[in-house]
Structure 1
Amino acid sequence: MAPSYDDSQNQTAHEQCAIDIPVLIVGGGPAGLLQAYMLSQLGGSLPYERMDAEVLADTPTMIHNIPQPSFEELVASHLSLRKDTEIRKNHSFVTCEQNGEYVTTTIEDRQAEKEYKVRSKFVIGCDGAKSKVRKCLGVKCEGESSYETMMTIHFNANLRDVVGKNVGMLHWIMDPEVSGFIIGYDLDDNQVLICNFDSEKNPPDSWNNELCRRIVTAAIGASVDFEVLSYRPWTLSRKVAESYREGNVFVAGDAAHSFPPTGGLGLNSGLGDVHNLAYKIAAAVQGWGSSSLLDTYQSERRQIALVNSQQSVKNGQTIFRLLKAIGTEASSIEQAKENLHESLTDPARKLVIMKGVEEQREHFNNLGLHIGYVYGDLETPPSASLYIHSYRPGARLPHAWISSALLPQYSRDLPAIDSSYVKEFTVEEVERKQYSTLDLCRFDAFTVIIDKATSSYWHETLEVLRVKTSNAKWKSFKINLVTLGIDFELIPGARGTEWVKGLQLYHGTAVIVRPDQHILQSFPAHSTAEQVFKALVQHLGF
């Protein structure tokens, strides 16, 4: 992916000369597409199944279970409208070389069977778990594998009548013929079965469409028409790159870390990578960020991957440990079914099973890992399920609802959040839950949040700061000032009260939020422009 250019006058431009662009992104998966869209920004409704509405106290939108192809299609549709970005399909990374200032990448046009070179300031490898970019850099991975062999089968069936009122994002399968779970992306026609299998009895290379159909039929447990779309084996393992950066080449998404899908942490970790990296790359390209700012990408994001990868493996181990505890293992299917029946009728065994079910809580309730991480915190969270609103540097700005009647113009340009699908909400509640404090943060600026009572002082302070950042180096640097009581109002309630108290706005504090929505620093009342400038300079690496 790269900014577009016109080579219509030279049919052989690809192979005869290097193409000069600011950033080359290798890989067109979710991380690569979103990285391209975010960098481009800087220089439809989703299927919903009932979930706990209380999550909207912590995040402005419900947790959605989105198939990766659908996510890629959504981002690609927006990216196609950008004239400064070009997506090249059927082109493959070959190698790259660095000279300290530029990266020269050799790319193969597989359709034309020719190679050409691209020169860029930066290269971002978002090319998956078997990343050629990472391999080219010689970057090794840390991690471990278990002995659990898994099969993922993608199929389409209408499971509405099968599940009835028991609608869920994930349905467990506890049958001697197949143990695992079905992820219902869309219960009408889009599901994935993840199951444990005996690699000695059924080696991975022996699997075929017929075997997959037999396994899916056993998992559904009813006569339903379906089509097997794809299948692939994998091992319950985790890998995290030892380095996320070598010179001006970076890795992100699955190229930087890969771990099991148990918990849904993999894709979200990758999206967190590109959200973190986007403004830092833009800062370096535009001249207001240094190499040390780029170094913070690894120091901040790698720790998150280590924690999330360990939790994903733990989730996988606990879920299949439970399935084994039920007693479905036996020398024959008949004996296994008998064991299962005994397990469900034996009081002592039922207690073991219920304990095992409770141990799955972190698998399905892990909001703390998704949005509760704090950059710079090296401790492993005590519980993946526990999300604590943090107002300290490095934390994601906590969410609180703000009134749609008073908003900055750029927030008004954002689409209002639609929570009308949540049956627990009244019409009035839906109207109140349209905009979040996260919508105050501009993607292309550092946002400063203050209170009306001290707005005069902070306006004067930031004017001095703007003078200090008025030279050519800071040309593209932006500060976005928002004032409680002038630019926005909080929806009355406990969460809004906590938000103001946490940020200490009524004490005259000014809070600077980075473009990636994480808190940079809080400044007590009467802090000087020099102190604010020093904090920005330190973060940007000057």
Structure 2
Amino acid sequence: MPVAHTEVAVLIVGAGPVGLTARALLERWGVRVLLVEKHGGLSPFPRARLVNMRSMEIYRQLGLAAEITGNAFPPEYGRVRFRDTLHDRDFATAAMVGVNAPVPESPVIGVVTSQDRLEPTLLAAADAHVRFGVELIGLTEEADSLVASLVDHQRGGKTSVRARYVLAADGANSTVRQLLGIDTTGPGAMGGFTTILFDADLNRWCARQPAGVYFTAHGLFAPLYPERGWAWSLPTPEDATHADWPELLSRALGQSGDVRADALRVEHWVMNAFVAERFRHGRILLAGDAAHAIPIIGGLGMNAGIADVHNLCWKLAGVLHGWAEPSLLDTYEAERQPVAHQTLREAVANTRLMLQVQDRRREQRRMSDVTPADVELPWSDRYFAQLGLVLGVTYRSHAVLTDAPPEPSETATDYVPTAEPGRRMPHLWLTSDRSTLDAFGEWFTLLAPDPTYWAQRTPAPWPLRVEALPGEHTDLCGLRPGGALLIRPDGHIGARWRDRPPSDATLRHALIAMTCPTQSPSPTGSR
């Protein structure tokens, strides 16, 4: 007798921010989703601390930015500070660009918030079913689907789900990646760490000099929530089982016994640094830490995973709804894997900068009888100035039409807005309170100085909207009055026509070329 399976279009494995964001995005596209998470609920640990500008742009698109900002720290916490102990004065400090204050390149700013404060907002953002305490233990490939074998740790017993696609967002120790035998490249495990959650009134030391992160010689301190709570992270001691955490915490705080610090929870974890050799295996796709584990210094890892699924979900929707070929999914790895490698390099560089600061401080104290107040920063004002990496990513794949030579790689720190195909569409104001970024959603967007001409040539079956581009923006976008930009649902520019194209079929041919590479006619005038 055949076994009955639950059937869904996409099975998401992992209920962290990446899996939850994918669930919300796919639901917007009308895709039937099931999310399974092996743990009994959302993580109680703060973990990731920074939601950067690009992620906030995505959450603005989902209508979540205001709630996330309301639960986060105010902008003045968008700063890192270096101290000998937490109660000492700063000997160095730097702002997190795009978090501590608005920048003209985006309609939003990033926020400092704890992952356990973010995840409930993401969980509530969609209605698609979530099953906690359910672990994936096997995958079987069939002709047009996959069958996932699951264990329900809460109710007991085994079950299965048939899905057209599986999106693995199950972390650095991904079961899915291990089942597929996908190797990784990079440093790998960089050491064991321990995070102590504790409660203490530290306002006298920190209220006048707020920060999202305080680096000290005894580890990293971070405020958890605007109302209360702290986290302390440090390399795991050799005999962690017998560690006297209250004594170690007291020493790291530098207190004189007049501050009570109550350790509430202890978590041991491994800092990983790698990129998966493949992001796709047939109908299975890796995202977030399952695809790339990024060291925490710089707050890049979670945000890279959010960008992964923003890139991927519109492609999955296109394939499932029939206006894109499965080969479009190949562009996910082609576009996101190079970004993962660049992100890993930047995180390693950030870690080295942090260590340089602490090394200089130790040398400074060793050479001076009087403790100096400041340390010369090895980065000037460049630390956490990551706009080039956050906003300046360039995609190159079949889903981008351009005859331009590849641009030189933009540095992680520098960002120059441009409307070159492959780049994120620059933020420009369409009206006094509506950005170009607000024009994007579950559709392609055509931005044109003369929208009437292009609206008459809107082809089916692709979801497409035509928007007027104000004349003052045409020069920055490299357009003449008859030109247009074709923006993908993820906000990246898929094609550009500087002026009116020679054929009425140009737009149709471009959409075929971007979404159905194996049957593409040669698009004309896309540049």
State the TM bucket, normalised to the shorter chain. 0.7 to 0.9
Of 471, 474, 477, the residue aligned with 1:500 is 474
CA contact (8 A) 2:172 2:272 kept: no
Of 239, 248, 257, the residue aligned with 1:215 is 248
Of 176, 180, 183, the residue aligned with 2:222 is 183
- Distance, in Å, in 1 between the alignment partners of 2:326 and 2:342 is 26
Of 301, 308, 314, the residue aligned with 2:336 is 301
Could you say what secondary structure the match of 1:324 adopts? helix
- Distance, in Å, in 2 between the alignment partners of 1:99 and 1:343 is 71
Q: CA deviation at 1:32?
A: 0.7
1:113 is aligned to 156
Task: Sort the Cα spacing of 1:132 and 1:203 in 2 relative to 1 into closer, same or farther, 3 A.
Answer: same
1:102 is aligned to 145
Equivalent residue runs for 1:125-136 within 5 Å: 125-136=168-179
Could you say what secondary structure the match of 2:106 adopts? coil
2:507 is aligned to 532
1:374 is aligned to 394
Q: Deviations 1:29-57 (Å, cap 9, x if unpaired)? A: 11111101110111121331325676331
2:376 is aligned to 354
- Distance, in Å, in 2 between the alignment partners of 1:480 and 1:146 is 46
CA contact (8 A) 1:143 1:237 kept: no
Of 340, 345, 351, the residue aligned with 1:316 is 351
CA contact (8 A) 2:385 2:413 kept: yes
Q: Deviations 1:113-150 (Å, cap 9, x if unpaired)? A: 21111111001111111110111111111111486654
Unmatched 5+ stretches in structure 2: 31-66, 79-96, 398-405, 520-527
1:326 is aligned to 361
**Match status 1:62 vs 2:109:** yes
Q: CA deviation at 1:71?
A: 1.3
- Distance, in Å, in 2 between the alignment partners of 1:255 and 1:128 is 5
- Distance, in Å, in 2 between the alignment partners of 1:86 and 1:455 is 40
1:25 is aligned to 12
Could you say what secondary structure the match of 1:403 adopts? coil
Amino acid at match of 2:393: Y
Could you say what secondary structure the match of 1:186 adopts? coil
1:400 is aligned to 428
2:232 is aligned to 193
Could you say what secondary structure the match of 2:112 adopts? coil
Task: Sort the Cα spacing of 1:91 and 1:145 in 2 relative to 1 into closer, same or farther, 3 A.
Answer: closer
Amino acid at match of 1:459: A
**Match status 1:245 vs 2:280:** yes
Task: Sort the Cα spacing of 1:228 and 1:387 in 2 relative to 1 into closer, same or farther, 3 A.
Answer: farther
- Distance, in Å, in 2 between the alignment partners of 1:230 and 1:387 is 40
Amino acid at match of 1:482: E
Q: CA deviation at 1:345?
A: 4.1
Q: CA deviation at 1:400?
A: 2.4
- Distance, in Å, in 1 between the alignment partners of 2:411 and 2:223 is 26
**Match status 1:172 vs 2:215:** yes
Amino acid at match of 2:249: V
- Distance, in Å, in 2 between the alignment partners of 1:164 and 1:105 is 50
1:286 is aligned to 321
Task: Sort the Cα spacing of 1:40 and 1:301 in 2 relative to 1 into closer, same or farther, 3 A.
Answer: same
Percent identity reads 25
Q: TM-score, normalised to structure 1's length?
A: 0.76
1:509 is aligned to 483
Q: CA deviation at 1:391?
A: 1.1
Amino acid at match of 1:216: L
CA contact (8 A) 1:523 1:532 kept: no
Amino acid at match of 1:287: G
Equivalent residue runs for 1:49-88 within 5 Å: 49-50=75-76, 55-79=102-126, 82=127, 85-88=128-131
1:428 is aligned to none
Task: Sort the Cα spacing of 1:122 and 1:146 in 2 relative to 1 into closer, same or farther, 3 A.
Answer: closer
Q: CA deviation at 1:59?
A: 1.4
**Match status 1:257 vs 2:292:** yes
Of 439, 443, 446, the residue aligned with 1:445 is 443
Could you say what secondary structure the match of 2:348 adopts? helix
Moved more, 160-169 or 105-114: 160-169
Larger relative helix fraction: 1
- Distance, in Å, in 2 between the alignment partners of 1:207 and 1:368 is 45
Moved more, 154-163 or 386-395: 154-163
Task: Sort the Cα spacing of 1:146 and 1:103 in 2 relative to 1 into closer, same or farther, 3 A.
Answer: closer
Q: CA deviation at 1:340?
A: 7.8
Number of equivalenced pairs = 446
Amino acid at match of 1:34: T
Q: CA deviation at 1:221?
A: 3.0
Q: CA deviation at 1:157?
A: 3.3
Aligned Cα root-mean-square deviation (Å) = 2.8
Q: TM-score, normalised to structure 2's length?
A: 0.78
Could you say what secondary structure the match of 1:228 adopts? strand
Amino acid at match of 1:317: R
Of 124, 127, 134, the residue aligned with 1:91 is 134
CA contact (8 A) 2:446 2:464 kept: yes
2:413 is aligned to 385
Task: Sort the Cα spacing of 1:141 and 1:438 in 2 relative to 1 into closer, same or farther, 3 A.
Answer: same
1:3 is aligned to none
1:276 is aligned to 311
- Distance, in Å, in 1 between the alignment partners of 2:186 and 2:102 is 32
CA contact (8 A) 2:71 2:117 kept: no
Larger Rg: 1
Could you say what secondary structure the match of 2:130 adopts? coil
- Distance, in Å, in 2 between the alignment partners of 1:36 and 1:216 is 39
Q: Deviations 1:138-187 (Å, cap 9, x if unpaired)? A: 1111111486654433333343322132122222324xxx1x33233435
Of 25, 32, 53, the residue aligned with 1:38 is 25
